[in-house]
Amino acid sequence: MEPKLGKVRQKPNDGKGRPPGIPNKATRDVREAIRKVAEENAENFAAWLQTVALGDGDKVKPDPAKAADLYLKAIEYHIPKLARTEVAGDQNQPMQMVVTWAAEK
């Protein structure tokens, strides 16, 4: 028995709402607030990192490794990590990689 082919029904709300990839207002507002705080405290952040790395003589002991860790964690929010990609093949054969652009189809 062959399947019946008919019209594709659209849902009543198809096409309404945000386009894909556009954040909602709450997300946009929170990201903007975080960006503002980061911009306004850039100099303070550098001073805080220096205090962690070198210590302050009284309460904070020098810890350069902790300062580096804090810095790397903070920049993850500014520069996203790239996904790791593994390429596997026959170990006894040379690997050939072909790179094309979408316009060349």
pLDDT digits (tens, 9 = 90+) for 62-97: 999 999 999 988 888 777 777 888 878 888 888 888
Q: Are 55 and 61 in contact (CB under 8 A)?
A: yes
d(CA 9, CA 51) in angstroms, rounded, equals 63
Give the pLDDT score at 2.
64
103 part of a folded domain? no
Give the pLDDT score at 1.
58
5 part of a folded domain? no
3 part of a folded domain? no
44 part of a folded domain? yes
Report residue 29 as tokens: 């507002």
62 part of a folded domain? yes
Q: Please state the domain count of the chain.
A: 1
pLDDT digits (tens, 9 = 90+) for 53-68: 999 888 889 999 999 9
Q: What residue numbers bound the domain in which 72 lies?
A: 23-80
Give 37 or 5, the one with higher predicted confidence: 37
Give the pLDDT score at 59.
87
57 part of a folded domain? yes
Give the pLDDT score at 27.
85
Q: Is the pLDDT of residue 104 over 60?
A: no
Q: Are 67 and 53 in contact (CB under 8 A)?
A: yes
The b-or-e profile of 83-101 (16+ CB within 10 A means b, else e) is eeeeeeeeeeeeeeeeeee
